[in-house]
Chains A and B, each alone.
Chain A
Amino acid sequence: MKGIKNVSSHTTREHIIALFFIFPSLIGFSMFFLVPTLRGFWLSFTNWDLLSKAEFIGFKNYKALITDPDFWHSLFITFQYVLWNIPIQTVLALVLAMIMERSTSSVLVRSLFLIPWLLPNVVVALLWLWMMDPAIGIINEIIKAVGFKSVPFLFSDTLSLPSVAAINIWRHMGYTALIVFAGIQGFPKEVEEAALIDGAGPWKRFFTILIPYLKPVLAFVVITSVIGSFQIYDTIAVTTKGGPVNATYVIYLYIFKNGFESYRMGYATAVSMVLFLILIGISFLQMRLSRANESDF
């Protein structure tokens, strides 16, 4: 009898402690993660402008955005940006990871590549705004010294988007390389040796052995960086502000403008929901395509 009573009081105490421990996080989670998501979903069916009372308007916001050329433009620009950003970043990160693996066992040297990723986007943006300045930026000074004309990187409607992509590639390359590097570390040496004995050359070993082995890591890296790069905002807000002539007007800028400048909260949340759906779709698709959970080993 005594034993049973002990157990039950023991579990009651456990429950009380559990509740007490989890309480602050539960408040934070409900107030700023769970409820806002549901509220955002509800708001996307209203025409709320922060001032008058919110009115339920059904799918009107969604219908409106489908016919808004600005929405499609910003979506198009965002896709384009992702296409500039991800392939180059992933290839460079892979190269850097291979080079890290071959050249140095020094953690210090490897960690130096992480610095750009640790810095604020705003700082990175200002740094490159200065380096890329058409008048006296060092990059253009070098270009001019070699005998070419100054390049208006961030101020050109054709070059601004790839320039922003370059800035973000610079910020994320080292971080991505370190993740890939961690993946390479787990590569079984026997497999490499077996391939060597079979007479496979370095390129063949790279493409038929290492890349398939790294598939889960690469899939992880690509999915997370695609999702991140769909949400590009800071760099563009600081450098081009969406310009010139809307050449860098990405989806986050579109949402920001509608929500925080025109206070069309209902409409802005509808766009954010569409973005959410797109991101879910993309991660699902990429998981399927790359069978991310299975390495070929």
Chain B
Amino acid sequence: MKNSLSINQRTNMLYKMAVFIIVVFFLFLTLFPFYWVFRTSVAPQQSVFANPTALWPPHATLLNYTRVLGLIDSETAIKMGGSGQKVNFFLNIYNSFLVSIGVTFFQVLFSSMAAYVFARLHFRFRDNLFSLYVSTLMIPGIVTMLPNFILVKQLGLLNSYWGIMAPTLLMTPFAVFFLRQFFLRINKELEEAAYLDGAGYLKTFIEVILPISTTALTTLAVITFITAWNDYMWPLIVGKKESIRTLTVALAIFRLQTPQGQPDWSGMMAGTTLAMIPTFGIFILFGRKIVDSIGFSGFR
């Protein structure tokens, strides 16, 4: 009896160890590439080629960053293996932030107003209109992107921040849908109390609905910001001009330049690291919220 118990314990331990090893393996697979990008971004150009396997590059330096941020004159940059073409990710980061924050603020604001109407106020054809909103969720991006490009061109907004922001500035069907589902679950008694106190719809919306919904609003804002920050195809077609290029577009163009026959790996990885910083920041601040929202909106 004693013996069989210890066998059980042993298989149990083996099982636990196997599970642990698999988790560690998956974690390594997920996280190692980030380390490798960072490692490369601090490697001097020569050591990228001389020590391709070194876990930490000899003579680590931050010069790649100053170089891609446009803080070093082009002669020095060429000497270091740069393309010599002017790279100024500083400007691109600024552009990306401007566009993403603009889209996030206005989209969440206007979508929450619309969602409130769909959840609480009544007017004719309200539900038909909502079904129409929702039905466009299915449409693949490229279907609207081609006509939207034409529209933005006809409006004279090509190569402008407004042009990049336009399609998602006022709403997305997803945002309205997401918030409406949340508003529907708010206890009506809270609003009725506000009505009895003589508050109008506007006041109720601002003083009752919005404060209760901080979780949903934050989640939506995070999703919207990340989507805007990550977007590539749309800013590529409407924002080619250097002065308003977003970071993703600039990075893709940077990759196409192959100075001295070889890609400028350390510079490219410095740019890549810079593009990841906001994502990691958001992850640290809101990671838990995002994970929770996947259980909520992802399926259920």
Contact = CB atoms under 8 A, between A and B. Distances in A.
Nearest to B113: A21
Interface in B239-279: 248, 251-252, 255, 262, 265, 268-269, 272, 275-276, 279
B294 A182 contact: yes
A182 B300 contact: yes
Nearest to A38: B147
Contacts of B140: 227, 230-231, 272, 275-276, 279
Interface in A6-29: 11, 13-15, 17-19, 21-22, 24-29
A99 B20 CA distance: 9
Contacts of B151: 31-32, 36
Contacts of A175: 294
B143 interface: yes
A244 interface: no
A238 B167 CA distance: 24
Interface stretch (A60-68, A70-78, A127-135, A152-160): A127-135
A68 B22 CA distance: 47
Range for the number of chain B residues in contact with chain A: 35 or more
Given A25-B110, A109-B27, A118-B282, A234 B122 contact: no
Contacts, number: 267
B29 A118 contact: no
Contact of B295 (A112, A113, A185): A185
Interface string B104-121: 000000110110111001
Contacts of A111: 283, 287-288, 290-291
A178 B293 CA distance: 10
Contacts of A275: 140, 142-143
A145 interface: yes
A39 B30 contact: no
Nearest to A19: B123
Contact of A113 (B30, B123, B299): B30
Interface stretch (A79-87, A190-198, A203-211, A252-260): A252-260
Contacts of B146: 36, 40, 43, 255, 259, 265, 268-269, 272
Q: Counting chain A CB atoms within 10 Å of each CB, which of B121, B140, B146, B166 scores highest? A: B146
A178 B265 CA distance: 33
11 contacts: A13-B200, A15-B123, A110-B291, A115-B31, A119-B230, A120-B275, A126-B269, A130-B268, A238-B255, A260-B237, A275-B140
Given A21-B121, A120-B231, 4 more contacts: A13-B200, A40-B146, A217-B299, A233-B232
